[in-house]
Structure 1
Amino acid sequence: MALISSKGTPAFSPKLALDLEGGTQMILAPKTAGNKPVNEDQLNQAVDIIRQRVDGAGVSEAEITTQNGRNVVVSLPDTPSAKTRQLIQASADMEFRPVLETGAPAKASKPTPDAKIKEPKGKPANASDPNWITKDVRKAYEAKDCTKPPAPGEKQEQSDPSKPTVACEYSGGRPAKYILGPVEVPGTDIATANAAQVQGQGGVSTGQWAVNLEFNSKGTETFKKVTERLTKLNPSPRGQFAIMLDGKVISAPMSQAVISDGKPQITGSFNEESAKALAEQLRYGALPISFNIESEQQISATLGQEQLKMGLIAGLIGLALVAVYSFFQYRLLALVTIGSLLVAGVVTYVAIALLGVTANYRLSLAGVAGIIVAIGLTADSFIVYFERIRDELRDGRTLGSAVEIGWSRAKRTILASKAVNLLAAVVLFIAAVGNVRGFAFTLGLTAIADLIVVFLFTHPMLELLSRTRFFREGHPLSGLDPRTLGAVPLYRGAGRLREPGEGPDRRSRRSRRTESRDEGPMTIAERRAAERSRSNRPDQEGDA
């Protein structure tokens, strides 16, 4: 059965989460600058940022917790990729430094002799002052080789934020080498970052991708002063500021204007993928401590196959109960309910399998519970539709007319109901963490699948059935028998039956209107006397 395990089954099957399939557990030991002790706030912040990184990398249903207030335990489904390991282990020491000098990435073939290296003429006036470039900095710059990027997970040297440093850039496929001044804005001052297309005049998209940053109040004030200085230094390299992450330059844009609102926009040769990658690094980059992987081991499923089988059995029992109730209430019309539920199940299964392939989504036991709960919510849509059709049949309409009018009324109720379900699922998904998000996700997914099935399968199927003789003539087993529903025509006399839509008092109302016209205008007293006379007069038509 493809749903039980993703190992040894066809590729097009749902991926299972940690609680159902097992995976890898890593214990991370924190490390701070100067080997200072880690406090609880730093550890909790690290857990939040690692969780955001893992979720941003597309790894779902991961478990990230602290252990004894000293370590961080990361449990991931299956075997994590090198990129995921790097994201988890990286210290994410993000910094904004001014560029002092840039050049070719290769190591200098002939280092400059010490005698020819100029010493600074005085103390640096600001972070962009070339006087930061000492003899030692120049030697380190010439000896640095930036032609080959480091291996994933390879540790980078952490530089003193109050001193200049030499760093490499590997992004964009064109390596570069920089001498950078001291840190001016730390990464912790970033409030948020996102990727979007550049908007031209009139709000029209230019098709060019950019990264939008937003600093907090402290970062806004500092960045304003930095851009005031850097803008005056254009077009030299000293007009650039480098964004560093884990000792590497991830971008070095040129300051083209003074940014006073704390919302700069980074443009360049971005495509959608590279812009989103940079935005993710900026958004989740500021991690107060770094980590070493202390231990790593494979773990078995925390719940296992037996619990999944029990969940599936519970779902089948729920489906059977819905079927029994539908046959009892709607006779053979319940076949439409069963068929719709089966189609909704197929749509949900295909969607989960596709999300597993494209977005690395993994199904947990909480997600299975969300699907089981959705069976009852899905059946509600069909019940609303069927009852609307029955109401129209009770009013004397034909089945074809009842289906169309009932649908026009039922779909508004169905849309409102599913909108509430989706809203609840979205709020729960945003507010919750861990397995609860899996429950909310499948609940919302099945609500969307329900709408697709009702509009594209259930309603068209009832339109087809309304044209068949069995349902059109209201067979007692069809569930749409007008007599069973209380829509039996009333006798009018002279061998005539009440027409559909005509009330039983229609003739009496017409007779009263005719008599009123024959009697002509009357005063109130005359009208009351006439009514008393008619009530006391024997029914001549009945006597005849």
Structure 2
Amino acid sequence: MARSLKLRGGLVLLCLLLSFISLAPTFWGGSLPGWWTKSFDPIHLGLDLQGGMHLVLGVDVDKAVESRLDSTLDQVESLLAEKDVVFKRAERLPGERLAVTVYDEESGKAVDALMGESFPTLEAMTLSQEGGYIQKNYRLGDQEIANIRDYAIRQALETLRNRVDQFGVSEPTLQLQNNDRILIQLPGIKDPERAIALLGKTARLEFKMVAEDANPEDAVKGNLPPGTQLLYERNVNRQTGEATETPLVVYEKTALTGDLLADAQVRIDTRFNEPYVGIDFNPVGAKRFDQITAANVGKRMAIVLDDTVYSAPVIRERISGGSAQISGAFNEQEATDLAIVLRAGSLPAPVKILENRTVGPSLGRDSINQGIVSVVVGGLLVVLAMAFYYRLSGLVANLVLILNLVFIMAMLSLFKATLTLPGIAGIVLTIGMAVDANVLIFERIREELRLGKTVRNALDAGYAKAMLTIIDANVTTLIAALVLFQFGTGPVKGFAVTLSVGIVSSLFTAIFVSRLIFDLFLGNRHIKRLSI
């Protein structure tokens, strides 16, 4: 018996010690050593309690459809060339259409066969003839367009979620709203402008060959050779930090895209002691990069991010390792943000900010104060009621109730959960459920004492009979809380977190800790009457 008491007492003391250690950064974070605050986070507050950013982003799904058509057009041109089909031109037309212009009917039939085999989502339209040429028209089906738009929104949501996770925001909220809108809430954000820039960056990385024979000055005036486009190269003066843009003509056709990236990391250039972004391709991208560099030795390749050329180095030799670097006199934050968006993936379509609100912490402070008052008032009423109705045993229940609150807050800190206003409501509800468990136990003990059993036997029987009822009630509530957490969003999830943690803590304190206190009090003493 004594050994059992020591083991159980040691377990409770260990839990208390761990609780106080984990809660210390929340209450005395400024006076603690650095290793302590790094090992244990303070309790995180939600957007409704500490303020932050509330954003609604709109996804330009029409651009996603255009990008799919552009990608399909590139594949069509490559396949036609591979199959030796003679054609005049292939182009994208308004109305989600592609057109391939051929010289004769035989080539037209070959195009139809190729399109039907390789691109079943394209529907053939009526052909047209112009100047002796035959134009074969194809369009995306309505169902395929709907699929592209839906996929673009969902991919944008996941890409933004990856960026936010790597940005380091605690417990963000990201969810779909009304067709093409995404709601984002970032609690406690310290740099709103950086967050907006990071979330809104399309991050479409492309590698394009430079059109060496084109004159950039003529291109600025609007004289562009066919199949080329005018971009601007970003240059930063290393001494002054001044950024300038230089016109550069590149071929429209993209040689390689960032979709084939495997990783992107910030590294330091030992020559200039400046950060740059090192990128590594996946096996498919590495093979493609090897082929491109082998075929273009001595030529310049432009590294383009969101239509801005960051560098355009000359390919000195074949690059077989599948690695490259993006440099541009970045500072550390710019390089870090660029690596984040490249790792998270490019957005399938541009996004625009439809709503941007910064929520101040003043409302949150009022909510915290009111929440604390509600917990204190509710707890005080329960303490008085238990002490009045169950006498000294009621004091045991009150001590257990206090320990329950300590354990709940400690678990929120250890699990890095976020405390929200509905979460405070969950704590208040947990207090009531914890008291309910003690009431069940005490009433069972009273029944056993009325039957004439000794105090020790009444305690054993009371806990044994009440335990199944308590576990059954709390487990069913826990299952409901877990369902709310899995499928709920925002305030519902915050309520479910504290309710789940509270149920686990209540079971431990009501069944294990309260019984330990009674056993310590009774010890080897012969108690004839229990104050209950």
Alignment TM-score, normalising by the size of structure 1: 0.48
- The structure with more helix, counted as a fraction of residues: 2
Q: TM-score, normalised by structure 2?
A: 0.49
